A = this chain, B = another copy of it.
């Protein structure tokens, strides 16, 4: 299939990181689009990634050939749909190194996963005066649920601050994580700064005082190998739509012992064993946490995304992104007026690069870049506390994924240069 991608590259898209960007791009129908007369340069994958044909096809195949509600159905379609749906649970467990299949709960997204923990686990385990530790760089999804829990329970919300180069300041960790700490909730990779946080160390620190560690993996799982067992975390949350999968699917992984004791967070069909006016008993894991008709089609589509990522290899993906990120930081640093937030060493961070211009507001940056076909996000990126900590209003954010390469960085940098002259600077 000849696509517009063929035009945009002179050489091969393959670099020494094992990812052939041109081949990858050919799998993503949207990347052949033109935006405002320019080929689309999609640098907004941290908000949501694009989808390969295989993911789209698997949804179509499901609806055209074996859609049915799952569980309890005795007819052929119901059995096929149930098997396909349940199969993804196993694939997901394997993808993140979960020891038990039934530890994987499908939700509608990372946000719901974290809310489930904060309400179902939190309400039973956090009391007055207890401490909840989060960080200054959390996405609102891993901030507001804990803030609300603290309010409900008269618990104390404590923060791990950030250093000037956008890392967690762990210098006074023993003052922050104390005997009163019940839960430490940390983003595995920041959606604004790209920073990869030391989850394993933090989990150890949490466990030492009997607290649990909740990791927000929404940005990490799409971009690097993640193994929840090795990390030693208690809960891990992420979203399908940021890792090539469909919208409307998230994963809540939790340790079996904890999930077994945890109350349900949604009540309804499929999550019960027996229901009467006098008594209701819950089903076992994972059904206990999956009330109602699940998002069957998109969970099945999510499997195609996992296949695609595994086929490329998460190690290769990580290497590829280090390559592009290194180049991007190098090139952006050369531009007048541009300041890059977060760590400058690409091995310590992911490919979401926030930057500001001394004179031009991020919204104007985004609007201008869009006129050149370049999609970047601008704003507070659902991280207002971080913006406040960095004393900035907003940033522009270019985020890279498997279909981006050094050429995209060049296109971005050229446009940024044109931008300054457009605004008369």
Q: Which residues of A contact B (CB under 8 A)?
A: 29-30, 33, 35-36, 40, 42, 44, 47-48, 50-51, 55-56, 59-60, 63-69, 72-78, 108-112, 114-115, 118, 139-141, 143-145, 147-148, 157, 159, 239, 241, 246-249, 266-272, 274-277, 280, 291-298, 363, 366-367, 369-370, 374-379, 382, 384-385, 388
Contacts and interface: CB of A to CB of B under 8 A. Distances in A.
A268 B114 contact: yes
Contact of A375 (B78, B147, B247, B272): B78
Given A110-B292, A248-B249, A377-B73, A275 B385 contact: yes
Given A68-B48, A292-B112, A293-B241, A144 B33 contact: no
Given A33-B65, A59-B59, A64-B29, A267 B76 contact: no
Contacts of A111: 266-269, 291-293
A226 to B, nearest CB: 19
A227 B314 CA distance: 50
Contact of A75 (B64, B78, B369): B369
Nearest to A265: B115
Contacts of A267: 111, 115, 118, 140-141, 144-145, 147-148
Contact of A377 (B33, B72, B148, B276): B72
Q: Give the interface SS of chain A, mostly helix, strand, loop or mixed.
A: mixed
A30 to B, nearest CB: 6
A69 B56 contact: no
Contacts of A139: 268-269
Contacts of A42: 77
Contacts of A109: 292-293
Nearest to A366: B74
A33 to B, nearest CB: 7
Contacts of A248: 108, 248-249, 294-298
